[in-house]
Amino acid sequence: MKWGIIGAMDSEVELIKSSLTDSTDLSLGFVTFTQGKYKNEEIVICSSGIGTVNAAVNAQLMIERFNVDCIINTGIAGAADDRLGVMDVVVSSEVIYHDRAEDPYTKFPPYKISFDANKALIERAEKAITQLHGKAPMVGRIATGDVFVTDSALKASIVEKCHPLCVEMEGAAIAQVAFMNSLPFIIVRTMSDSADDEGAETYDNFFAVAAQRSGEILLKMFEMGSIEL
């Protein structure tokens, strides 16, 4: 099985990249894709850059050039649900664009703004997180938009509209590309902040350790071997 892994920033993929053996790099445009092995599992990983366009372009490149069997979007996010705190983990059941309206986007391909994650990948992530942290993660909707949410009023409007567990800037774009290529996907995000007025300061304090936690989860998933998708 060949796992495709995308993080927006170098810090979100650093742990996994440094854990690979027999790795090789291929630069495509502004992004370097690293291919290697971890515990007999084949891994392709890249840092796509921030935002939906960067995420979508590099997800498509990964699918076309490396023929991955699934895509996992890893990294950090801002907590939108009051039950979540910094360093808690969210696994996607679905992902939705919070900055797109149903009309007109649902009238044109791919006729939707939300995308369902793969159930087998959800179960694998839940198992890995439970083994690592002693408790199951929250599983639910993640909301994506091209804005770093550090404003309580904006957060409230997103929550009212979409009711997500957390917010980030790449997941729905990766999910849309996966959907359009009939490829399974999942999003695994660790909370670096609460996406509110104090979000920028909290992010600065926790983004590195939160990104590493997401990386540790993926390594545990790989250790469990290939799965039927």
List residues with catalytic annotation: 12, 193
Mapped onto helix, strand or coil, the DSSP state of residue 187 is: strand
Inter-CA distances, 98 with 4, 17, 22, 208, Å: 25, 31, 40, 25
Which one-letter amino acid corresponds to residue 179? F
- Alpha carbons 90 and 125: distance in angstroms, whole number: 10
Chain centroid, CA 54 distance in Å: 13
- Alpha carbons 200 and 189: distance in angstroms, whole number: 17
Strand partners, 193: 78
Nearest CA to 185 out of 50, 56, 9, 22 is that of 56
Would you give the DSSP letter of residue 158? H
